[in-house]
Structure 1
């Protein structure tokens, strides 16, 4: 499965967060699109509308397990997707900003 390190993600890269609502509300990457894994198939159209047609979809969860499953599914659908190794835990550990739903500093739940 294609994987990328947090440090390789740039500001313009498309980021899909597949964690559940309570995790998202506690803290997330500001630019991410949120579609929980538990709702992913039903809400797949939201991704296809938002994702760049010619770019990668960087899939992230808490530690990398759920995002790996979604990355596999997206690849089967012909979407250029990569799993973010270490997930939001690695994101926060590298000092990347984490915000809550109000745009205030958040945390990885």
Structure 2
């Protein structure tokens, strides 16, 4: 996946606008505060919901695999997107802000 444009989480602000392609239960457990939820399988049908940004749009999943596939496809469609290296696991390890969490629990990555 080295030819897929990517960005380390350390280069993203805690409140950066990112597209989260994880499944609904993963999203509910915890996500970045500025994230837009578009599950991987929904992207082709909901492509018009991608947020507009002045820079490359970061795409994230749990560890980087699904978001890498999304970035690869979106680049082919002409979008300026980048894969978030290490996904939400790396986001969490970097101590970045997260929201969500079921039943009052702390947000987590599942």
Q: If the length of structure 2 is used for normalisation, what is the TM-score?
A: 0.87
Match of residue 73 from structure 2: 73
1:22 to 2:25 alignment: yes
**Residues 16 and 34 in structure 2, CA contact (< 8 A), matched pair in contact too:** no
Shift of 1:11: 4.9
Which runs of 5 or more residues in structure 1 are unaligned?
Answer: none
1:94 is matched with 94
Q: What is the aligned length?
A: 106
**8 Å contact from structure 2 (residues 19, 58) kept in 1:** yes
Q: 1:56 to 1:14 in 2, by over 3 A?
A: farther
Aligned residue for 1:69, secondary structure, equals: helix
Shift of 1:13: 3.9
Aligned match of 2:42: 39
Q: Secondary structure at the match of 2:107?
A: coil
Residue matched to 1:108: 109
TM superposition outliers: structure 1 runs of 4+ over 4 Å: 101-104
Q: Distance in 2 between matches of 1:40 and 1:25?
A: 18
Structure 2: gaps spanning 5 or more residues: none
TM-score (norm 1): 0.88
How far apart, CA to CA, are the structure 2 residues paired with 1:33 and 1:71?
Answer: 15
Structure 1 Cα separation of the partners of residues 10 and 52 of structure 2: 21
- Does structure 2 conserve the Cα–Cα contact (< 8 Å) formed by 1:61 and 1:88? yes
